[in-house]
């Protein structure tokens, strides 16, 4: 059943449908952002096996060893789950989907100075939401730009087929997958202020720059969602959650995807 539009203007919705992404401001208050700051600052000092495994001795030269991404913090932290289901975000997603959204994944990226970026990729290669698509809500906890490793998007690729990735340059990307943009399509920076949320379609080609600064983190709280009418998703993202926090268990998607083989599992962003 379609939902009545709650948040987005006609212009914002048209921009998302045309370009594959839209930046929405003001969805998190400063109080919200301070709680997110405090939650993940505290978390950064303790390993959580299977979800966050930092090198707390600081013996590795790669800054991402000390500050790796936190995977699925909503599965062990109540604040992370609450902000994954943040009402203003869920309202935007309902506008974008035209129906209720289901939360499938949460992540937190610290991205300290010197960190590699992530090669261009497509999220629904991993989530495998069917029928429909995943949408990401990428919240800038720190202002993000070309210098500190902000996001890159390739506009108008949201209707581009999901592709089997090539191998990424490991000197610049901490992940191994790379999706080449179509001819005449270029990646552009998504410049964001603290608290801005970038929503983008699961087929949109996107990635991130290396953090070239000496003293600026590029922290981000990133969640992925599925449309309520979806019936299948990659099993790694089950269960999903309704806005009120109740669990929903879609069928695992058995489709091997565009690679046609059992491909190395990796998480987006």
Domains of the chain: 10-46+62-252 (2.60.120.620)
What are the backbone angles phi and psi of residue 70, rounded to the nearest 5°?
A: -95, 125
| Three-state DSSP class for residue 112 | coil
Write down the pLDDT at residue 3. Answer: 55
In angstroms, the CA 235 to CA 131 distance is: 15
pLDDT in tens, the chain (269 residues): 455 767 999 999 999 999 999 999 999 999 999 999 999 999 999 999 999 999 998 778 899 999 999 999 999 999 999 999 999 999 999 999 999 999 999 999 999 999 999 999 999 999 999 999 999 999 999 999 999 999 999 999 999 999 999 999 988 999 999 999 999 899 999 999 999 999 999 999 999 999 999 999 999 999 999 999 999 999 999 999 999 999 999 999 988 788 875 554 444 44
Q: Which two three-digit tokens encode residue 94?
A: 């309902």
Judge whether 111 and 67 are in contact, CB under 8 Å: yes
Whether 154 and 208 have beta carbons less than 8 Å apart is answered as no
Say how far apart CA 266 and CA 253 lie, in whole Å. Answer: 16
Looking at the DSSP bridge assignments, the partners of residue 206 are 121, 153
Cα–Cα distances in Å, from 70 out to 133, 160, 248, 266?
23, 29, 23, 14
């Amino acid at each position: 059943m379609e939902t009545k539009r709650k948040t987005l203007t006609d212009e914002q919705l048209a921009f998302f449908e045309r370009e594959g992404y839209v930046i929405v401001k003001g969805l998190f208050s400063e109080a919200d952002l301070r709680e997110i700051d405090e939650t993940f600052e505290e978390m950064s000092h303790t390993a959580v096996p299977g979800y966050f495994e930092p090198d707390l001795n600081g013996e590795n030269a790669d800054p991402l060893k000390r500050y790796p991404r936190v995977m699925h913090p909503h599965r062990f932290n109540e604040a992370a789950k609450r902000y994954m289901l943040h009402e203003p975000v869920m309202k935007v997603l309902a506008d974008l989907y035209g129906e209720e959204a289901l939360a499938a994944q949460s992540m937190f990226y610290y991205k300290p100075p010197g960190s590699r970026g992530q090669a261009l990729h497509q999220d629904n290669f991993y989530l495998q939401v069917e029928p429909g698509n995943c949408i990401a809500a990428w919240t800038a906890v720190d202002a993000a730009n070309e210098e500190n490793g902000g996001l890159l998007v390739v506009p108008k690729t949201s209707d581009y087929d999901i592709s089997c990735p090539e191998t990424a340059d490991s000197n610049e990307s901490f992940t191994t997958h790379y999706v080449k943009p179509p001819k005449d399509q270029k990646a552009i920076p998504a410049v964001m202020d603290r608290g801005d949320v970038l929503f983008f379609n699961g087929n949109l080609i996107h990635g991130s720059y290396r953090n070239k600064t000496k003293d600026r983190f590029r922290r981000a709280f990133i969640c992925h969602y599925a449309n309520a009418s979806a019936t299948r998703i990659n099993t790694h993202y089950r269960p999903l959650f309704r806005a009120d926090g109740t669990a929903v268990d879609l069928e695992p998607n058995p489709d091997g995807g565009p690679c046609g083989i059992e491909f190395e599992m990796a998480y987006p962003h």
